[in-house]
């Protein structure tokens, strides 16, 4: 057995639908590995089609961790993810197997490599005041964040009020930008990020086909079932890309065609944001699928130097 502290551990990441799972599975089959999901949506039970989880047959063949670990209405944050992911890494290594992390949630990838930024304690009074400002003037906090910390503004999605409020709270409490404090974290050198990319048009075509396949597989029924089970359409999980639009279809706000087209568009935009996020990691290894999956896996193995273990 090899030591956890010296083993290089891959994080296979990249934009949605690029083919991360396929690469991770090829790698796992070659090296007797187990896969740890780095996906902020695949943590939820009952949400299978819209999150593109790998099949149960594949999970029976290759063990997967951090999939179906909380219900759609349960709180789950990046700290919980990091703690559970590191526990999974240790558990896999203790069995003499190799851990392979795979998924496209940039915040989760960052937390693994650089740890969690704790910052000052939460100020409930300030948070309440900021929330009231946003309720009275929608978009005001985004404008404020852009003024005080353009880097954080670019990193956070326009609907991510939780992290927007936190960044403003940190600035008011400390006088420092949260993006500057991020840079003071120490990188965990065990993890190597491999960003998978492919031709942009090809990626967008794959995204469009995936959305169409989701609907053929019963995506509308999946969302309707979640609502029937009592899960609120206002939950964070139910407002993610795909689920929110299907809810709007079920409520008669969107036609089926409008629903599908909106999901395709939003998913393409999300893929673009993911690529922008990953380009900020100067230590990431970029690999293009134009060279083929097998050659890509060979490159990953050489960089990890797993053959010597």
Structure tokens at 218: 């019963």
What percentage of the chain carries pLDDT values higher than 90? 81
C-alpha distances (whole Å) from 180 to each of 175, 185, 299 are: 11, 10, 34
Q: List the binding residues.
A: 14-21
Do the domains 124-182 and 9-116+185-308 match in fold?
Answer: no
Q: What is the chain's mean pLDDT, rounded?
A: 93
Q: Which burial class, exposed, middle or buried, applies to 290 when counting CB atoms under 10 A from its CB (0-12, 13-18, 19+)?
A: exposed
Taking the C-alpha atoms of residue 84 and residue 160, their distance in angstroms, rounded to an integer, is 23
Structure tokens at 225: 């079932």
CATH 3.40.50.300 fits 9-116+185-308, yes or no: yes
pLDDT of residue 304: 94
pLDDT of residue 307: 56
Residue 1's pLDDT band, with cuts at 50, 70 and 90, is very low
Q: Are 109 and 192 in contact (CB under 8 A)?
A: no
Taking the C-alpha atoms of residue 160 and residue 297, their distance in angstroms, rounded to an integer, is 35
Its CATH class, for the domain covering 124-182, is mainly alpha
Residue 135's pLDDT band, with cuts at 50, 70 and 90, is very high
Between 52-56, 155-159, 169-173, the lowest mean confidence (pLDDT) is in 155-159
Query: What residues are paired with 101 via a beta bridge?
Result: 11, 36
Residue 116's pLDDT band, with cuts at 50, 70 and 90, is confident
Average pLDDT (47-55) is 98
pLDDT of residue 70: 98
Q: Within 13 Å of residue 147, how many CA atoms lie on the same side as its CB?
A: 8
Structure tokens at 69: 């670990």
Phi and psi of 118, rounded to 5°? -85, -55
For the chain, the structural domain boundaries read 9-116+185-308, 124-182
Q: List the binding residues for ATP.
A: 14-21
Average pLDDT (265-285) is 94
Structure tokens at 26: 């090829």
Q: List the binding residues for substrate.
A: 16-21
Q: What are 185-189's contacts with CB under 8 Å, separation 24+? A: 185/114, 185/115, 185/117, 186/114, 186/115, 187/113, 187/114, 187/283, 188/112, 188/113, 188/114, 188/115
User: What digits encode the pLDDT tens for the residues 56-111?
Assistant: 999 999 999 999 999 999 999 999 999 999 999 999 999 999 999 999 999 999 99
Of 80, 57, 53, the closest CA to residue 67 belongs to 53
**308 has a pLDDT exceeding 60:** no
Structure tokens at 253: 């706000």
The DSSP code for 41 is S
User: What digits encode the pLDDT tens for the residues 183-214?
Assistant: 777 788 899 999 999 999 999 999 999 999 99
Of 41, 38, 34, 81, the closest CA to residue 58 belongs to 34
Structure tokens at 162: 């939780």
């Amino acid at each position: 057995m090899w030591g956890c502290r010296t083993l290089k551990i891959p994080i296979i990441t990249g934009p949605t639908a690029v083919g991360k799972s396929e690469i991770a599975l090829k790698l796992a089959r070659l090296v007797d590995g187990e896969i740890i999901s780095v996906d902020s949506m695949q943590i939820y039970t009952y949400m299978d089609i819209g999150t593109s989880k790998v099949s149960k047959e594949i999970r029976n063949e290759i063990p997967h961790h951090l999939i179906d670990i909380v219900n759609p209405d349960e709180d789950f944050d990046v700290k919980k993810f990091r703690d559970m992911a590191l526990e999974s890494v240790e558990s896999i290594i203790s069995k003499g197997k190799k851990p392979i992390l795979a998924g496209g949630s940039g915040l989760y990838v960052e937390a693994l490599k650089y740890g969690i930024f704790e910052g000052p304690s939460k100020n409930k009074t300030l948070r309440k005041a900021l929330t009231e400002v946003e309720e009275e003037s929608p978009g005001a906090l985004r404008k404020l964040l852009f003024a005080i910390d353009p880097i954080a503004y670019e990193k956070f999605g326009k609907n991510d009020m939780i992290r927007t409020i936190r960044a403003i709270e940190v600035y008011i409490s400390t006088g420092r930008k949260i993006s500057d404090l991020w840079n003071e974290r120490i990188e965990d050198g065990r993890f190597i990020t491999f960003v998978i990319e492919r031709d942009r048009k090809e990626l967008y075509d794959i995204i469009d086909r995936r959305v169409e396949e989701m609907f053929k597989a019963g995506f509308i029924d999946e969302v309707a079932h979640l609502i029937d089970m009592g899960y609120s359409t206002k939950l964070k999980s139910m407002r993610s890309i795909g689920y929110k639009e299907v809810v709007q279809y079920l409520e008669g706000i969107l036609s089926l065609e409008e629903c599908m087209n909106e999901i395709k568009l939003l998913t393409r935009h999300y893929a673009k944001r993911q690529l922008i996020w990953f380009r900020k990691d100067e230590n990431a290894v970029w690999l293009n699928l134009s060279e083929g999956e097998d050659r890509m896996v060979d490159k990953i193995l050489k960089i990890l130097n797993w053959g010597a273990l």
